[in-house]
Amino acid sequence: MSVRRAGLGVVLASATLLAACGSGPAADPGTAQIRMELSDAGCAPQPASVPAGPVTFTVVNNGTSKVTEGELQAASRIIGEKENVTPGLSSTFTLRLDPGTYLAYCPGAARDNSRFTVTGSAPAQTPAGAAALSTATTQYHQYVTAQVDALVAGTKVFTDAVRRGDLTAARAAFAPARYHYETIEPVASSFADLDPQIDARADDEPDPTRWTGFHRLEQALYQANTTAGLAPLADRLDADLASLRTLVAGVAFQPAELANGARELLNEVSTKKVTGEEDRYSHTDLSDFAANIEGAQQAFDLLSPALATRDPALDQQLRARFTGIVTALRPYQDPAGPDGWKTYDAVDDQARRVLADRVNALAEPLSQVSGTLV
């Protein structure tokens, strides 16, 4: 999870995601190339305007530790991004953009946003397997909607326990409620203004009086061991999730968003959650792992019929590696645990590295799916 705030409105005709990955097939020669160099000062795209069509953004970090993320937003929703671009690294994402004005954003920079303009008109494209891909995006929207409904209902169980002062019941409901957020985290976090209110960690919010959401409640329940004074925060979380449900209902997904989202879920596990920093008070990280894997596999399963016709070897490789990571997680299940998993503080460093390696082995071929399908 990353926190994103932007202060510039965006006007957009429409944007179709083509691909978003750090590796995989090379960009078509007709793809416009944009460089976003991260610095303490900002990350203004160069050039700042391109014709409509496919555009590859290369996010480069030549030495700043303060700014490690570059993203593109449309109408306050993140449509492409690269996180954890630390000094000396670079990474890419590719989008098919229609005419309009977009926002390039790099949190932490002195000037953290810049306009990016797309002109002209994009040529229509009908990729092979379009019917299967259309079915995949429709069914994924149904999956996301169902997960948000379960999230709202499960969180109500959690917040009701908080409001009545039942510490034991609130702790028991915490991870099961968050599970549904984690299955669709790339979608939820694409709403740049809402995600920080729901899922920010202590170090994401410099002003502790503004810190809200799951992890603020987690800290009180597991570190301070109290529910005292938490009712307003519980009310706020319910309201923010109601807003999320409204926003999700109006989202139209593109095929590559499913593949990109699946990859981002795996990145969350291997670069952030594996450290134990996400659920640092409750140690319910394994529940998050399982949810991220479920969400990634759901997206892949929906894309698989189209992928199997284009690259059957890649499809089979991914199926085997999803099976592998599910098998690797199985020893950590604990029916006696409140969330069905062992607490993460019981997992030693070597076991954490093994889990991260299995996730990375899945993420690498998954990064090829967008370019293969579109």
Which of the listed residues 85, 119, 153 is the one where a domain comes to its end?
Answer: 119
Beta strands, E only, the chain: 15-19, 32-38, 49-51, 53-61, 70-74, 77-82, 90-97, 100-105, 113-119
pLDDT tens, position by position, 22-53? 444 444 556 899 999 999 999 999 999 999 98
- Assess whether 115 and 135 both reside in one domain: no
- Assess whether 308 and 179 both reside in one domain: yes
Contacts of 29 (CB under 8 A, 6+ apart): none
Q: For residue 291, what pLDDT is reported?
A: 96
- Assess whether 170 and 27 both reside in one domain: no
CA triplet 132, 23, 292: central angle to 5 degrees? 65
pLDDT band for position 124 (cuts 50, 70, 90) = low
Q: For residue 374, what pLDDT is reported?
A: 64
Q: How many domains does the chain have?
A: 2
Residue 192 pLDDT exceeds 60: yes
Is residue 2 domain-resident?
A: no
Q: How much of the chain exceeds pLDDT 70, in percent? A: 90
- Assess whether 227 and 151 both reside in one domain: yes
- Assess whether 114 and 139 both reside in one domain: no
Task: Average the pLDDT over 354-374 and give the result.
Answer: 87
Q: For residue 126, what pLDDT is reported?
A: 56
Task: Average the pLDDT over 294-316 and give the result.
Answer: 95
pLDDT band for position 84 (cuts 50, 70, 90) = confident
Which range in 2-6, 362-366, 367-371 is most confidently predicted, on average pLDDT?
Answer: 362-366
- Assess whether 223 and 332 both reside in one domain: yes
**Domain that includes residue 314, residue range:** 131-373
Q: For residue 28, what pLDDT is reported?
A: 55
pLDDT band for position 125 (cuts 50, 70, 90) = low
**Comparing C-alpha atoms, which of 253, 318, 279, 275 is closest to residue 15?**
253
CATH number of the domain within which 68 lies: 2.60.40.420
- Assess whether 188 and 81 both reside in one domain: no
CATH number of the domain within which 185 lies: 1.20.1420.20
Q: For residue 189, what pLDDT is reported?
A: 86
pLDDT band for position 15 (cuts 50, 70, 90) = very low
Enter the DSSP assignment of 263: H
- Assess whether 157 and 246 both reside in one domain: yes
pLDDT, averaged across the chain: 88
If phi > 0 it is left, if psi is from -120 to 50 it is alpha, else beta; for residue 263 that is alpha
> 16 by DSSP, 3-state: which?
strand
Is residue 19 domain-resident?
A: yes
- Assess whether 135 and 101 both reside in one domain: no
Residue type, 142: Q
Q: For residue 122, what pLDDT is reported?
A: 64
Q: How much of the chain exceeds pLDDT 90, in percent? A: 66
